[in-house]
């Protein structure tokens, strides 16, 4: 580790910043109550690390939205451009941290690491896990082996591509499936289990600057298939959009098995696609690749979970908007 490395801490709220009525209450608490500067007061760091904090948002991550994402990307771009900044740490709620991490990984335009961290217990819990997670994330942000976007929780380092929350009530709430955790942090020491994944996108991504400047993001909705599924929800969406002059840009199917939908839902999704709505097919299965069939009219989401596939389609649509904007500028 180099001497006096500067790490920026961007706060967005979450359980890590939550407060409970008492230190023994673990579940009845309110997220996003403590500012990020105050969270840092309880974190022990090596003397060679300097930190600067900034509050970007203060929300329960179940309420994460495009407005907060735009603001977060904007601040990440700013701090990545500063020569004296070694890395960026983002405090975040566990509910949607995997989505924000995936978005940032797709938007990454710098080799400077971005590390997200979180907590399963509120800040005033008697055995709060937030301080250690935050300390680990800051140390990892300064590590020379770190690049790209990752999530640190419970001593585990997960790549943004593979992380998924699998427990509602465990401190070690996350998993990276067959890929396994990227590494572990024990007593401030980092041990990597494998090399960083090399990802070949099967979708297009816009420039981060365009994402920040575009306030009206495409609407991409998610529809599940399950036993007893009906197509009424999609039909209702189409009818509502038509009657309210609302544009639906994309739909992601969270399908059973290899991304399957029952016959009625399949027909209605084909109809939606004929209206100009892009439809992607993903699987609700925890592991495996959604493999495209020869006669399939929908785009395959491949490795991505339904929630990450929604972001991938959103970015692909933003790329199309940016490309169209550039084309108009040349006329």
Domain containing residue 282: CATH number: 3.40.50.40
Residues 31, 170 within the same domain: yes
Identify the helix (H) or strand (E) that includes residue 93: none
Angle between helices 306-330 and 97-107 (to 10 degrees): 30
Residues 58, 184 within the same domain: yes
Tell me which of 15, 117, 268, 299 is the catalytic residue: 15
Please list the alpha-helical segments (H only) found in the chain: 36-40, 66-80, 97-107, 130-141, 208-213, 232-243, 263-274, 306-330
Count structural domains, the chain: 2
Q: How many CA atoms lie within 13 A of 324 on its CB side?
A: 6
Angle between helices 263-274 and 232-243 (to 10 degrees): 20
Residues 70, 171 within the same domain: yes
Residues 152, 232 within the same domain: no
Neighbours of 48 (CB within 10 A): 11
Residues 139, 63 within the same domain: yes
Is the per-residue pLDDT at 1 higher than 80? no
Give percent of the chain above pLDDT 70: 99
pLDDT for the residue numbered 37 = 98
Residues 104, 248 within the same domain: no
Q: What is the rounded distance in angstroms from the CA atom of residue 303 to the CA atom of residue 288?
A: 7
Is the per-residue pLDDT at 31 higher than 80? yes
pTM for the whole thing? 0.96
Query: Hey, what are 89's tokens?
Result: 């740490």
Residues 36, 168 within the same domain: yes
Residues 227, 181 within the same domain: no
Q: What pLDDT, in 10s, does the model give residues 124-140?
A: 999 999 999 999 999 99
Give percent of the chain above pLDDT 90: 87
pLDDT for the residue numbered 271 = 97
Which of 160, 192, 224 is the last residue in one of the domains? 192
Q: What is the rounded distance in angstroms from the CA atom of residue 261 to the CA atom of residue 223?
A: 10
- For residue 293, the enclosing domain spans 211-330
- Verify whether residue 15 is a known catalytic residue: yes
Query: Residue 156: which CATH number?
Result: 3.40.50.1170
Which of 157, 192, 227 is the last residue in one of the domains? 192
Q: What pLDDT, in 10s, does the model give residues 176-229?
A: 999 999 999 998 899 999 999 988 888 999 999 999 999 999 999 999 999 999
């Amino acid at each position: 580790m180099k001497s006096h490395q500067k790490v920026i801490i961007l706060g967005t709220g979450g359980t890590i910043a939550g407060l409970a009525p008492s230190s023994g209450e673990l579940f009845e608490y309110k997220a996003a109550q403590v500012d990020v500067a105050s969270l840092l007061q309880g974190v022990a760091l090596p003397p060679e690390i300097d930190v600067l904090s900034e509050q970007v948002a203060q929300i329960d991550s179940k309420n994460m939205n495009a407005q907060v994402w735009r603001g977060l990307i904007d601040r990440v771009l700013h701090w990545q451009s500063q020569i004296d900044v070694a890395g960026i740490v983002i405090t975040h709620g566990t509910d949607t941290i995997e989505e924000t991490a995936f978005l940032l990984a797709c938007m990454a335009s710098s080799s400077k690491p971005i590390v997200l961290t979180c907590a399963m217990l509120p800040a005033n819990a008697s055995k709060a896990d937030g301080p250690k997670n935050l300390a680990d994330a800051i140390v990892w942000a300064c590590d020379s082996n770190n690049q790209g976007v990752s999530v640190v929780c419970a001593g585990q380092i997960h790549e943004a591509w593979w992380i998924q929350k699998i427990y509602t009530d465990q401190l070690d709430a996350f998993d990276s499936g067959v890929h396994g955790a990227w590494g572990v942090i024990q007593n401030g020491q980092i041990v990597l289990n494998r090399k960083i994944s090399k990802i070949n996108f099967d979708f297009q991504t816009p420039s981060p600057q365009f994402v920040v400047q575009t306030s009206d993001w495409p609407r991409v909705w998610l529809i599940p298939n399950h036993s007893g599924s009906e197509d009424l929800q999609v039909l209702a969406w189409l009818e509502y959009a038509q009657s309210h002059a609302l544009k639906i840009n994309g739909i992601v199917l969270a399908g059973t098995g290899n991304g399957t939908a029952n016959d009625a839902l399949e027909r209605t999704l084909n109809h939606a696609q004929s209206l100009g709505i892009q439809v992607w097919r993903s699987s609700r299965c925890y592991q495996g690749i959604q493999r495209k069939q020869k006669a399939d009219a929908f785009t395959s989401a491949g490795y991505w979970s339904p929630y990450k596939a929604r972001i991938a389609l959103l970015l692909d649509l933003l790329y199309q908007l940016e490309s169209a904007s550039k084309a108009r500028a040349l006329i």
